Amino acid sequence: MIKLTKPIAVLALLLPTCSALAAMPDMGGTIEAHVDGKVVQFPLLKTDMLAKVKGDLVTVTVKQTFSNQYDKPLHATYLFPLNHDAAVHRMIMQVGDERVEAKIQRIEEAKATFQQAKHEGKAAALLTEHRPNMFTQDIANLMPKLPVQVTLTYSQILPKVDGQYELALPLVVGPRYQPAGAGVPPTPNSDTNSKTTFGQWEVEKLPAYPEVAELNSPEIIDKERVSIRVELDAGLPITEVSSKTHDISEEIPSEKQRIIQLLDGKTIDNKDFVLRYRLSGSATQAGLLAHRDERGGFFSIQLEPPAVPAVKDVAAREMVFVLDTSGSMDGEPIAASKLFMKHALNHLHPNDTFRIIRFSNNAEEFTAAPVIATPENIRQGLGYVESLTADGGTEISPAIEQAFAKPALKDSLRLVVFLTDGYIGNESEVLTQIAEKIGSARIYALGVGTSVNRFLLEEMAVRGRGFARFIDPTEKADDVAIQLASKLESPVLTDIAIDWGDLQVSDLSPSRIPDLFAGGAIRTQGKYRQPGRHTIKVSGLVNGRKAQLPITVNLPDSSGEQDNPIPVIWARSQIADAMRQINTPSYMRTENANENSLKDKVTELGLDFSLTTQWTAFVAVSQKIVNEHPEQAEHNNVPLPMVKGTTAKAYGENTPQLTAAQPMMVAQNFSGGAAPEPSTVVGMMLMAVIGTWTLYRRQKHGLGYVNR
């Protein structure tokens, strides 16, 4: 455990690190702590992100610089997020004057390559994907005063949300709760390659959750750890650029271009960065991106809904509101959920019925049966919501079971609205459960928080033929709540099908085209054989009436661009579709494939297109030996900040006992039932050490510690 010595002793410990910092002012401050009588040294991190946007296509480079300010070699692990739609297709490691292009390998081979390099004393980097939005970067032999720089490159197509294009750059991984029976997390002494199972499929264990440092302690987390630059070339006049998550500066080279940066230059990585922009020009309802090379022809077609008048006679709805009241929702998230519920209930139609289900350690319902949306019932429902408090684990499965257990009311459309941060580790089980239970209902997944599990929420919406939206509780939530509450209506275009005519296409994704909602857009990716001009027809139903959209496409015979991202985006969509099939009961799959064949498909796509997947990883190894005594290196995690807007309840109270070998490797404590959420008491104790020292220093010297 961390020992709190006299303030002067802590001061003596920290001052040398401050002087060592002067040699590398760009890397931020340093921090040490006593753990079980041992000094723990943390690796430092800087992240620089550059997003280049062309139209709705973005390529992002993420430059991670790891530094060791001490006199002993370190092995570092950094748990971090990327956008769940990102096709990560390149990694470069720079050590001193040596530049190494990473190789994509099967996960077992990549780990073996990395371990061998570690034992040989070579610098190495290993990028592992645990979920589509959760990665670890492992650095071997991080030497004193010899930074290791790792640059990742990924591409994606930006979604259109409420008429605006949205660029989301996740910056921090929130805590994850995993129920008992869904897998026990690795401990510092466990085999990190081990697997757990549910049903017939393997689920990779979540990585150990790193130290969590208190946001109010600048000595622990560098508040200038991340820089962001967005170069926007829209191709059409830009009418609006905004970010509700961060203050930004904006340069305007032309009416079609913008350069956006953080107003203060850099920020702490405690919440996601979200940028939206709106374009003017002709209101096209279809768009095409295409590329052809030696691998074949690849295309991506965007479809937007037709403009239709509002329907006056709205069918009766059975509104089922499912509220996450677990510990991670404590504070601003639960307050934002209550605000949304206030507006949602007050916007119900007179012929609607509603139910309210809350879940944490268990699921509980407001009433035994749906109630009519009368003023009195709404008043009682609001009182029930207002009485809710956030505590306990995130047991979402019982809530899903309860939401769909009762038959839907006759002549009513069941709409299920989830309000949650999605902080769970058993996503596969939840998505499989939804696929089995959903029936004809629709799901609207509302992510409440500053750094939510977007992958889970988006996939819930895909399974539920609805949409996902996100509420930042640190911002003014009234407008968002009103807007979202009013959008819980039927989609504009349903039962979408495409007649390809004489165009021969293959390997289409998604396997099932989702419905289209007002202000949104969907994309279909595929491969084509014949270049040239072709006409295809998109059909669907608008309020039960047939609608058709003819589209003329001109597909290239060859493309001069060597680094066109369309092929890797197509491959990424194929991987997402295969993973969706894996998380679907076998009798419901659209493909006649078992888990092993789907796993092989994902692996081969990863290898052929150099993409990270659950079964492929990037590894880079230096040629030079940088550490003559690799056995002396210590392993420590890059500490993470608390997610902005959350409280200590998000991280629970029970933490496994630390071992002397890895004193700061704090795993999540997943025990299900009435157990609290993942925790890291050591991080809190460390805060106490630093807080005490800071208070002492200010009282004695009138000084504050500044991270630079």
| Strand positions, DSSP E, 294-351 | 296-303, 317-324
Decide if pLDDT at 115 tops 70. yes
pLDDT at site 405: 93
pLDDT band of 575, cuts 50, 70, 90: very high
Interatomic CA distance for residues 644 and 271, integer angstroms: 6
CATH architecture of 291-308+492-607: Sandwich (2.60)
Domain 291-308+492-607 and domain 317-486, same fold? Reply is no
Task: Reply yes or no on whether the pLDDT at 665 is more than 80.
Answer: no
Q: What is the mean pLDDT of the chain?
A: 82
- Gyration radius of the chain over CA positions: 26
> Mean pLDDT across the stretch 505-510?
95
Per-residue pLDDT reduced to its tens digit, 274-291:
999 999 865 567 889 999
Structure tokens at 74: 């370190």
The dihedrals phi and psi of 214, each to the nearest 5 degrees, come to -70, 135
Residue 699 pLDDT:
38
Q: What is the pLDDT of residue 690?
A: 38
* pLDDT of the residue at 563: 83
**Phi, psi at 534, each rounded to 5°:** -140, 155
**317-324 and 413-420 strand pairing:** parallel
| Contacts for 371 with CB less than 8 Å, ≥ 6 apart | 353, 354, 355, 377, 381
Looking at residue 324, its pLDDT comes to: 98
Highest mean pLDDT: which range of 438-442, 573-577, 587-591: 573-577
CA 577/CA 433 separation, integer angstroms: 17
Between the two ends of the chain, the Cα-to-Cα distance in Å is 29
CA–CA–CA angle 247, 48, 275 (5° rounding):
35
CATH dotted code for 317-486: 3.40.50.410
Inter-axis angle of helices 7-21 and 681-701, nearest 10: 90
Q: How far apart are CA 359 and CA 363, in angstroms?
A: 4
Q: Per mean pLDDT, which range of 60-74, 133-147, 340-354, 666-680 is the poorest? A: 666-680
Q: Is 184 left (phi over 0), alpha (psi -120 to 50) or beta?
A: beta
For the chain, the structural domain boundaries read: 7-274+616-701, 291-308+492-607, 317-486
pLDDT exceeds cutoff 60 at 646: yes
What per-residue confidence (pLDDT) applies to 559?
72
Q: DSSP assignment of 553-586, as one string?
A: EEE-S----SS-SHHHHHHHHHHHHHHHHHTS-G
**What is the pTM assigned to this prediction?**
0.84
Residue 75 or residue 38, greater confidence: 75
Instruction: Classify the C-alpha dihedral 137-140-143-146 as positive or negative.
Output: negative
- Residues 6 or more apart in contact with residue 655 via CB below 8 angstroms: 666, 667, 669, 679, 680, 681, 682
Phi-psi region of 595 (alpha: psi -120 to 50; beta: other; left: phi over 0): alpha
Confidence label for 477 from pLDDT (cuts 50, 70 and 90): low
